[in-house]
């Protein structure tokens, strides 16, 4: 079952797990604040946001040049960027693997991989399997063309590993 909730970002949690992180980012993988659970076959992510106005649109899996990506599409319905605003909340998403749209021929949680790159993409437009390579390339290159690809077209993220 898909579960989404928001939690106030306390100063203590911010300093300990999210120091120097921006909106749409997740904590470093060693903190295991975001993780996949191979036994329960679900993914848990905590995403920094500026408000509770964000909604979850979709999640995608893409194996791209032998790197496994999970792309979470969220939106606050606005065309203005939130990335540089101070984070105030953690958007907590727990999603079973079967609800993640697979955009690759390989299965999600491939047994020979132990981590995923996560991209959190904030945009009002639809995201689908065909435009994921553009999002991945722009995120990896930290390229300003993300703004041209979509508006606000901003992305954050991190890496997750297996957790509890």
pLDDT of 106: 81
Q: Is the pLDDT of residue 96 over 90?
A: yes
Please report the pLDDT score of residue 144 as a whole number: 47
pLDDT of 112 reads: 59
Kindly list the distances between the CA atom of residue 159 and the CA atoms of 78, 110, 145, 150, in Å, as whole numbers in the listed order.
26, 16, 22, 23
Backbone φ, ψ for residue 145 (5° rounding): -70, -10
Average pLDDT over residues 51-75: 95
Query: Mean of the per-residue pLDDT values for the chain?
Result: 87
More confident residue, 153 or 117: 117
């Amino acid at each position: 079952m898909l579960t989404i909730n928001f939690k106030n970002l306390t100063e203590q949690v911010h300093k300990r797990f999210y120091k120097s992180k921006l909106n749409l980012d997740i904590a470093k993988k060693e903190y295991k604040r975001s993780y996949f659970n191979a036994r329960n076959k679900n993914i848990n992510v905590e995403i920094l946001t500026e408000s509770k106005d964000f909604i979850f649109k979709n999640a995608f899996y893409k194996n791209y040049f032998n790197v496994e990506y999970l792309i979470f599409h969220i939106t606050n319905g606005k065309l203005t960027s939130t990335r540089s605003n101070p984070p105030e909340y953690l958007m907590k998403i727990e999603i079973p693997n079967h609800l993640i749209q697979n955009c690759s021929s390989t299965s999600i949680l491939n047994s020979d991989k132990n981590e995923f790159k996560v991209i959190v993409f904030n945009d009002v437009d639809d995201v689908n399997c065909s435009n994921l390579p553009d999002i991945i390339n722009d995120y990896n290159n930290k390229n300003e063309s993300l703004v041209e690809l979509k508006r606000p077209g901003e992305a954050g993220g991190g890496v997750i590993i297996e957790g509890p």
